[in-house]
Structure 1
């Protein structure tokens, strides 16, 4: 077998694809204007996004499981994404999260995303590339001088890779926590949580040379039927149903030097990520912010424009006017968020119809049933049966 070509730079060796990615990143930095990246999937412009390279390796893993991936990609508007998406390209976060949940249902495996991550770790030539193909945030963490700098990058620039409601690094004395939360509007979060948390933990392990530095892991996902695989992957101090995701590491390990460190690459990628982060913030409109505020309090049966505007630090009249400028109304967005959450909860969970109605803020199940007939032209029970049957085929 021919030896893989590598390039040297300041005493370090790099694969050609890393050099290509870095060159592309620098070109993006030099030529990009206000566009934060290329959206590769359809849908409204207010959708939350995740970098398209999260799909790398999924076709190969589904082939191992003998799962035909094409119908699922078509269903979730991902069939046009190239096998190796360019840096700075994005897909919808809700499409990706629903795709993973649907594949978990098809495989009959609640640990689908976790098993996929483990398979990537075992299959890829570089064990740190556990996310299939590095985006610019993970590339920066890869070349950080130490674990502290790497975790800071993952927290402060996380939204370059995927939209989050919160991401931060918090010092807690003997431990330091990397914590994050997905937007409230993302209802299918079990598999996507496993995917991101698994990749983060693996990256921390590799950056410290395999040292046992993770103290505990808390996941904002439903408790699985069998927690054994999670204890095996994350360690015994794993918990579920947390208010947000949190990986605690030993503070004493933060100064552990990274053997792959390269300050020039780290600084260049840091500047690129700051630019991308600023561009993404500029395009986030009031409609998107309002949808997220509605989703955060969706279970409130008395949710009003007045309540949402206060939570957004806007006057009621001001929010109403800004929504009107973008061709939207509060009632329209409230109905949109409810419908999307209903679709996700009916398809990807086993919650009772009454529980779902409560989570959507309906005062009575009958009101939810009437809304479902308007949205889906069928009752919630009929819609659930149809969607789950389709996913199992």
Structure 2
């Protein structure tokens, strides 16, 4: 069985909403990403696969800079709602017995649409606390955090009849903007910043009220489908881990290609690319991760010459290895060895 990989990802359908909104602003997403990255894949693939969460977050920050709008994510949420995401989960929430069950369902199946860390619902003192923290490698995701929190608030505010469900309190881990007026407009007057965890607080009695849209049969069917997708996710992670194992076994070859790995697995290169994309991975990224992890380990734990390590991770020239090390570690292999540091997100070989 393959080793689990870093699954820090988000459902690619969010790109459709971003592309549509940028069209309204006169900005073509394809042209923008061609200049600034990342590679998003063809639009026809956005409904089925996953993309890197870090790269998506970085894209939103770049767009905000280009638009000179530090509140781009929040403003986008006001003008365009949840136009992307995982549809099965959205339907399950819509037909849940109560808003509280909808929230618990969202937390239970959150990984189908987005990877978060320590996502939970807690009932305490007549209140419902929805807490979440993004994965540790994600730093200062202002635009994404604003939009995510705003979409959660709007979903519960508008989806469960009257009276509307407004949050009692919203705490965000981000630093406060220069002007908090728009945040107060979206989240209410009790919004705070620099919190240890992101938290949205609701009144328990309102969250336990019946959902006028409730449909037990539809809800049960959607939950069953979500459970199947979770099982499929585990199988997909095993597949990506298997690909990684094959790359690791042949990493010393400077000619290791997608086609060679596909042949080893017993499928065409095109099918392998598609299967990896569906799990939020690309072959070249996996190859690069394996090389980085092995090189880091050999530099830290062995006295092998840099030229030998370069050969072992598939570089035919030390100069190419040195350039790769600068990209991986921010320094040369020798400097990295002397520093004795461990890279963020280092993978074990």
Fold match by TM threshold 0.5:
yes
Distance in 1 of aligned mates of 2:223 and 2:193: 33
Residue matched to 2:219: 266
Aligned to 2:46: 85
Provide the aligned C-alpha RMSD in A.
3.2
Distance in 2 (CA, whole Å) between partners of 1:190 and 1:274 is 31
Q: How far off its partner does 1:85 sit?
A: 3.3
* Cα drift, residue 142 of structure 1: 1.1
How far did residue 77 of structure 1 move? 1.0
Which residue, out of 347, 361, 372, partners 2:330? 372
Distance in 1 between residues matched to 2:298 and 2:219, nearest whole Å: 43
Which residue is equivalent to 2:174? 221
Q: Which runs of 5+ in 1 are unaligned?
A: 1-33, 35-43, 122-129, 289-325, 336-367, 376-393
Number of aligned residue pairs: 253
Q: Aligned-pair distance for 1:132?
A: 3.7
Moved more, 52-61 or 155-164: 52-61
Q: TM-score, normalised by structure 1?
A: 0.58
Is the 8 Å Cα contact of residues 7 and 115 (structure 2) preserved in structure 1?
Answer: no
In structure 1, what is the Cα distance between the partners aligned to 2:61 and 2:12?
17
1:59 aligns with 2:19: yes
Within the alignment, does 1:242 sit opposite 2:188 as a pair? Answer: no
Q: Which residue of 2 aligns with 1:198?
A: 150
**d(CA) in 2 for partners of 1:155 and 1:238?**
22
Larger RCO (CA within 8 A; separation ≥ 6): 2
Which structure is larger by alpha-carbon Rg, 1 or 2? 2
Aligned residue in 2 for 1:253:
206
Residue of structure 2 equivalent to 1:346 = none
Tell me the distance in 1 between the aligned counterparts of 2:206 and 2:62: 38
Which residue in the other structure is 1:309 paired with? none
8 Å CA contact 1:213–1:253 kept in 2: the answer is no
Cα deviation 1:179-214 (Å, max 9, x = unaligned): 111110122511111121111101111133252441
Partner of 1:167 in structure 2? 119
Could you tell me which runs of 5 or more consecutive residues in structure 2 were left unpaired when the two chains were aligned. 242-289, 300-325, 334-349
CA contact (8 A) 2:11 2:85 kept: no
Partners in 1 of 2:58 and 2:213 — Cα distance? Answer: 35
Alpha-carbon deviation of 1:284?
5.0
TM-score w.r.t. the length of structure 2 is 0.64
Superposed structure 1 runs of 4+ greater than 6 Å apart:
none
CA distance in 2: counterparts of 1:131 and 1:333, whole angstroms: 43
Question: How far off its partner does 1:68 sit?
Answer: 3.1
Partner in structure 2 of residue 182 of structure 1: 134
CA contact (8 A) 1:53 1:135 kept: no
1:76 maps to what in 2?
38
Deviation at 1:235? 0.3
How far off its partner does 1:109 sit? 0.8
Determine the C-alpha separation between the residues in 2 that align with 1:76 and 1:113: 18
Q: Distance in 2 between matches of 1:333 and 1:228?
A: 49
In structure 2, the partner of 1:211 is 164
CA 1:334–1:200 in 2, change beyond 3 Å: closer, same or farther? farther
